[in-house]
């Protein structure tokens, strides 16, 4: 994979000797990929990511993988904070409303397994920004094709949960927490975040479909 280097000054050492155990996927929410790259490399903005994948499929690296890039901000996953110290951040060049392009997804599918192999990261460790920062962040958004990545075994597969008789919010919160979602958020915010990832166009009150959309969590319920 050809990588274009665009070094950003916005990084530091990973804290407490942490190494990446997660990969956080983002969209840039900007119409112009060059402006997005500039922003991620401008000291005054104090943001960065390890990689940006251009909509034409080109891969840019801004921060070395062993360093701590500034992409995740406040939030938790599996009860862990300082996600920046624990993750690799990948920005997808996307305005937040358009579909992700084929060359871009193809590059992601090439680079993801390489990073997962280098740092021994399991598919369950690939998350969206919206997973770890519900309510605050919505990227990579409902148009992102998680199912495509799941079919290749690169991320946890949605819709493999056992049917559940009583779709109670307490049970749903428990399932979401076992998957890794933060627990210090209200029911509606949690439901929105889980749907963004596992049932992108789901609407209305909590239902059987929301449980059915989850990755297999049945073994968490016994
Ligand atoms: Zn983001």
What are the tens digits of pLDDT across the range 141-191? 999 999 999 999 999 999 987 777 888 999 999 999 999 999 999 999 999
140: cis peptide before it, omega within 30°? Answer: yes
Give per-residue pLDDT as tens, 2-14: 999 999 999 999 9
Nearest to 92 by CA among 77, 114, 107, 76: 107
91 labelled catalytic: yes
pLDDT surpassing 80 at residue 30: yes
Contacts of 72 (CB under 8 A, 6+ apart): 24, 83, 84, 87, 89, 129, 132, 133
Q: What is the pTM of this model?
A: 0.96
Q: Any idea which residue has 């749907």 for tokens?
A: 195
Where do we find the tokens 């749903």?
Answer: 172
CA distance 60 to 40: 11
Q: What is the mean pLDDT of residues 196-206?
A: 94
- Predicted confidence (pLDDT) at residue 106 exceeds the cutoff of 60: yes
Task: For residue 165, report the distance from its CA to the centre of ligand 1, in Å.
Answer: 35
User: How many whole angstroms from 166 Cα to the centroid of ligand 1?
Assistant: 34
Look at residue 39 and tell me whether its pLDDT is greater than 80. Answer: yes
């Amino acid at each position: 994979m050809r990588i274009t280097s665009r070094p950003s000054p916005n990084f530091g050492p990973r804290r407490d000797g942490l190494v990446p155990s997660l990969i956080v996927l983002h969209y840039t929410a900007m119409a112009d990929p060059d402006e997005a790259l500039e922003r991620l490399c401008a000291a005054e903005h104090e943001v960065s990511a390890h990689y940006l994948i251009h909509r034409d499929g080109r891969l840019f690296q801004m921060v070395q993988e062993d360093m701590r890039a500034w992409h995740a901000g406040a939030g938790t996953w599996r009860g862990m904070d300082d996600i920046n110290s624990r993750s690799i951040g990948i920005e997808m060049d996307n305005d937040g409303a358009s579909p992700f392009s084929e060359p871009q997804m193809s590059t992601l599918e090439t680079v993801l397994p390489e990073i997962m192999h280098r740092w021994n990261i399991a598919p369950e460790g690939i998350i969206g920004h919206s997973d770890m920062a519900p309510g605050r962040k919505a990227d990579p958004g409902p148009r992102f094709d998680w199912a495509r990545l799941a079919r290749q075994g690169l991320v946890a597969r949605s819709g493999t949960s056992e049917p559940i008789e009583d779709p109670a919010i307490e049970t749903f919160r428990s399932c979401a927490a076992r998957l890794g979602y933060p627990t210090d958020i209200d029911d509606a915010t949690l439901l929105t975040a889980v749907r963004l990832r596992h049932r992108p166009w789901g609407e209305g009150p909590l239902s059987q479909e929301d449980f059915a959309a989850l990755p297999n969590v049945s073994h968490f319920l016994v």
